[in-house]
């Protein structure tokens, strides 16, 4: 597909789109050296600065890479998926399995490192979860995730906190569906209250082994539902 001059509008976006089409269509297969900035600018009818910005956008998407002294080369035909997108596309059982590994160890760390402020936040989150039992399934799942997030935050590791935040949107959507599909709250509006209360007590008391084991048992129960 030959390149054509661009119409006035956001030129960087247009240039990026045109170059992406050349790559996706196979016109420029993986390994191809792209034409130079001057040639691209002339063909597209834009300035070199616009071409540079478009190439930066393609590099950010994982499609091209500049090689010092050699030029810009195609390294992939499709954009690399970012982590949140990949999580949303992944099977929920796979996401949950990773969650169990990460969150169980986070609970163990939380029991060792929690501050008074952390304990206050976790206890408040447990109370909020209990109040949310009177609401709909989505509100209850939100409150449940907020409690787990508070425990992870108490571990005092910002990487763990950020990792859980990446999991949360994918987890929330699937968990709401699970609760509704299996009607898990028909007979118990606050499922898992005792285990969550035990988790909070263990973190508060500094008992890392109990915190980890209680949480693992709770998560495994949900994991079993997901695999049905």
pLDDT of residue 9: 45
CA proximity to 182, closest of 224, 139, 131, 217: 224
CA–CA distance, 148 with 189 (Å, rounded to integer): 18
> In this structure, are 151 and 215 located in the same domain?
yes
63-67, 90-94, 131-135: the lowest-pLDDT one: 90-94
Identify the CATH number of the domain in which residue 56 sits: 1.10.10.10
Q: Look at the block and give the residue holding tokens 């447990």.
A: 126
- pLDDT digits over 34-58, tens only? 999 999 999 999 999 999 999 998 9
Is residue 168 in some structural domain?
yes
CATH code, domain carrying 175? 1.20.120.530
Span 57-76, average pLDDT: 90
Q: Give the pair of three-digit tokens for residue 99.
A: 């969650």
For residue 28, tell me if it sits in a domain: yes
User: Do 168 and 143 belong together in one domain?
Assistant: yes
pLDDT in tens, 110-123: 999 999 999 999 99
Is residue 184 in a domain? Answer: yes
Give the pLDDT mean for 156-181: 88
Q: pTM surpassing 0.85?
A: no
Asked whether residue 55 is domain-assigned, the answer is: yes
Q: What angle do CA 98, 102, 108 make, to 5 degrees?
A: 150
Looking at residue 179, its pLDDT comes to 86
Confidence of residue 102 (pLDDT cuts 50, 70, 90): very high
How many structural domains does the chain have? Answer: 2
Quote the pLDDT of residue 2: 57
In this prediction, residue 4 carries a pLDDT of: 52
Contact yes or no for 23/77 (Cβ under 8 A): yes
Q: What domain range includes position 142?
A: 83-226
pLDDT value, residue 8: 43
Length reported for the chain: 228
């Amino acid at each position: 597909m030959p390149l054509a001059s661009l119409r006035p509008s956001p030129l960087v976006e247009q240039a990026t789109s045109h170059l992406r089409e050349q790559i996706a269509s196979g016109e420029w297969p993986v390994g191809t050296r792209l034409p130079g900035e001057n040639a691209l600018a002339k063909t597209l009818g834009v300035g070199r600065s616009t071409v540079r910005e478009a190439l930066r956008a393609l590099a950010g998407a994982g499609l091209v890479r500049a090689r010092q002294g050699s030029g810009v080369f195609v390294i992939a035909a499709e954009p690399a998926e970012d982590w949140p997108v990949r999580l949303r596309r992944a099977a929920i059982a796979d996401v949950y399995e990773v969650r169990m590994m990460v969150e169980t160890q986070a609970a163990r760390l939380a029991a060792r490192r929690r501050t008074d402020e952390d304990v206050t936040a976790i206890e408040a989150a447990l109370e909020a979860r209990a109040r949310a039992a009177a609401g709909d399934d989505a509100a209850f799942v939100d409150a449940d995730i907020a409690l787990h997030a508070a425990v992870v935050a108490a571990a005092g590791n910002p990487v763990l906190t950020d990792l859980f935040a990446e999991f949360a949107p994918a987890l929330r959507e699937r968990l709401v569906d699970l609760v509704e599909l299996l009607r898990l709250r028909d007979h118990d509006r606050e499922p898992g209250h005792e285990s969550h209360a035990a988790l909070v007590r263990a973190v508060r008391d500094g008992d890392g082994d109990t915190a980890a084991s209680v949480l693992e048992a709770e998560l495994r129960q949900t994991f079993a539902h997901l695999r049905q």
